Amino acid sequence: MARYNSILDTIGNTPLIRLGRMAPRHVNLYVKVESFNPMGSVKDRMARAIIEDAEQSGALTPGQTVIEATSGNTGIGLAMVCAQKGYPLVVTMAENFSVERRKMLRFLGAKVVLTPASEKGTGMLTKAEELAAQHGYFLCRQFDNPANARVHTETTVPEIIRDLQGDPLHTFVTGFGTGGTLNGVATGLRRVSPDTEIVAAEPDNAQVLGSGIPQPRDEQGKPTGSHPNFKPHLMQGWSPDFISGLTEEAVANGFVDSIQPVPGDLAMQTARRLAQDEGIFAGTSSGATLAAALAIAESAPNGANIVCMLPDTGERYLSTPLFADIGEDMNADELELSRSTQGFRFDTRSAPSPAVAAQPVTLDKSAEAFVKSAPTQAPVVMFALEWCEFCWSARNLLSEMGVEFISVDLDSVAYQADDRGNKIRAVLAEQTGSPTIPQVYVDGEHIGGCTELFDIQRDGQLDTALNKLGVSFTPYNEDPYALLPKWLHTRAS
């Protein structure tokens, strides 16, 4: 490992891994695991290539805003590249793509403009074009930009050939979204390994290439709408509703030797098997590409070397059908396992702790004075911890309502000297009869913890108390319990 000057220098050089358990024994099936890229997908390659190509040609000037229509991975890659290089980024995305993707983009500093799901891929593209034209942004045009394909010719292909160490490559399998991978890898392989069979995989319910029907386009070559064979499918990042320029070019050049249709449920099942049998955690389109490669492998000659692209990590799909069967709570098996030993079960009280002789508690005088005076310093005062999720949820409710409050964070630096935070906690526990945090006070009166605060908000008592104090606030009409982090819901409500 070298030292790197920037995160961008860690893009590419992803590992080629032989599948030892899933592949039929008579072939060598290798997966190229693109989740090893810094932002976890194959699109990091393209993001850097398009931006640097535009820098060199002068199409992108320092400080200019970059914009692109993307289902996520391209945007996430671009967000990394733009953050590192200092370009503002706007991404247009159809609302039906996973929420994780939007949040990641915003975390990386990008703006995300959603477009209606009904308008599909062409909707997000047209919106990006409109915004670029109106505001003078640099539009990446990943579906047609030759830099998207070129980076695969220049990096992905040499990596594969190097890692095969002289062994011949019989078959290369990929899906296509922009077609950058397909076009660029095929271009490179035809030069250095002309006998390699190139297989393009696509959803079985949306066979746009398999149909042989050309993409309808206007005189400028722009798609005039969805391809007639397109149907919504489960493989995010694969087959948009039109055939891209780069995909069309790959087909026209005779680079696609065969087309392999893949059913959506098989794609997801294969992604799960890949995780559970090989320990490789990848997304839906990876499962789909591997399903295609496994189908090809069945009839491949003995000793054939097959390379299959795995475009991204599985972590991006927690809210999608890929995880639909993966539960949050314990299933019957896990419950049985839990019940197989005595301690720490949910169906019995915890084992009583061994009797401890009651220690006389000496409470710190200044802490006592503080617990008495602090609750009168604001309409709402809570004794809290900085990193407690119940405290965080209670603070969220008060912020949503715009109520003036003080959060006395007992684990913060301000309360660390002389163990003051713990001394205050001891006084609080003694006075409230509850060892838990937060402890909330309204108008100097002790209310209880987070759930008690939520309860008095729900039944109107909090509003009444605040009105009585003459405190201004915005009535909160949602269920405050929804403010708890998701994993707390079942336990706390």
237 belongs to the binding site for ligand PMP (CB under 6 A): yes
CB of 145 to ligand PMP, least distance (A): 11
- What is the pattern of x (binds ligand PMP, CB under 6 A) and - over residues 292-311? -------------------x
Applying CB under 6 A, the span of 177-185, 219-227, 296-304, 319-327 interacting with ligand PMP comes to 177-185
Applying CB under 6 A, the span of 162-170, 179-187, 356-364, 373-381 interacting with ligand PMP comes to 179-187
CB of 318 to ligand PMP, least distance (A): 14
Among 181, 196, 305, 320, binds ligand PMP (CB under 6 A): 181
Our measurement of the distance from residue 292's CA atom to the centroid of its chain's CA atoms, rounded to an integer in Å, reads 25
Applying CB under 6 A, the span of 16-24, 41-49, 88-96, 269-277 interacting with ligand PMP comes to 41-49
Applying CB under 6 A, the span of 113-121, 127-135, 154-162, 232-240 interacting with ligand PMP comes to 232-240
Which of helix, strand or coil describes residue 216?
coil
The encoded tokens of residue 470 equal 């003459």
248 belongs to the binding site for ligand PMP (CB under 6 A): no
Among 75, 175, 245, 379, binds ligand PMP (CB under 6 A): 175
Per the residue annotation, which of 32, 43, 127, 423 is the catalytic one? 43
Please name the residues in contact with 456: beta carbons below 8 A apart, sequence gap of 6 or more: 442, 447, 462, 465
Which of helix, strand or coil describes residue 18?
strand
CB of 191 to ligand PMP, least distance (A): 19
| Known catalytic residue at 285 | yes
The rounded distance, in Å, linking the Cα atoms of 361 and 239 is: 69
Residue least distant from ligand PMP (Cβ)? 237
CB of 309 to ligand PMP, least distance (A): 8
Closest to 108 (Cα-Cα) out of 131, 81, 133, 135: 81
Among 35, 115, 122, 178, binds ligand PMP (CB under 6 A): 178
98 belongs to the binding site for ligand PMP (CB under 6 A): no
Positions in 70-89 near ligand PMP (CB under 6 A): 71, 73
CA distances from 74 to 67, 92, 153, 179, 230 (A): 11, 11, 18, 13, 22
179 belongs to the binding site for ligand PMP (CB under 6 A): yes
The rounded distance, in Å, linking the Cα atoms of 102 and 324 is: 20
Per the residue annotation, which of 35, 71, 98, 285 is the catalytic one? 285
Backbone angles phi, psi at 359, to 5 degrees: -90, 135
Among 11, 40, 43, 80, binds ligand PMP (CB under 6 A): 43
Among 312, 407, 457, 462, binds ligand PMP (CB under 6 A): 312
Among 97, 138, 176, 370, binds ligand PMP (CB under 6 A): 176
The rounded distance, in Å, linking the Cα atoms of 271 and 326 is: 13
Query: Whose Cβ is closer to ligand PMP: residue 286's or residue 407's?
Result: 286
| Known catalytic residue at 111 | no
Among 38, 77, 177, 245, binds ligand PMP (CB under 6 A): 177
Residue 477, number of CB atoms within 10 A of its CB: 5
Closest to 249 (Cα-Cα) out of 190, 203, 307, 194: 190
DSSP state letters, 109-168: T-EEEEE-GGGHHHHHHHHHHHHHHHHTPEE--TTT-HHHHHHIIIIIHHHHHHHHTT--
Closest to 308 (Cα-Cα) out of 485, 478, 407, 170: 170
The rounded distance, in Å, linking the Cα atoms of 281 and 192 is: 31
**CB-CB contact of 483 with 451 (8 Å):** no
Among 207, 285, 313, 457, binds ligand PMP (CB under 6 A): 285
Please name the residues in contact with 351: beta carbons below 8 A apart, sequence gap of 6 or more: 342, 343
313 belongs to the binding site for ligand PMP (CB under 6 A): no
Residues that contact ligand PMP, how many (by CB under 6 A): 20
The rounded distance, in Å, linking the Cα atoms of 228 and 211 is: 9
Q: Which residues bind ligand PMP (CB under 6 A)?
A: 41-43, 71, 73, 175-182, 236-238, 283, 285, 311-312
Annotated catalytic sites, by residue? Answer: 43, 285
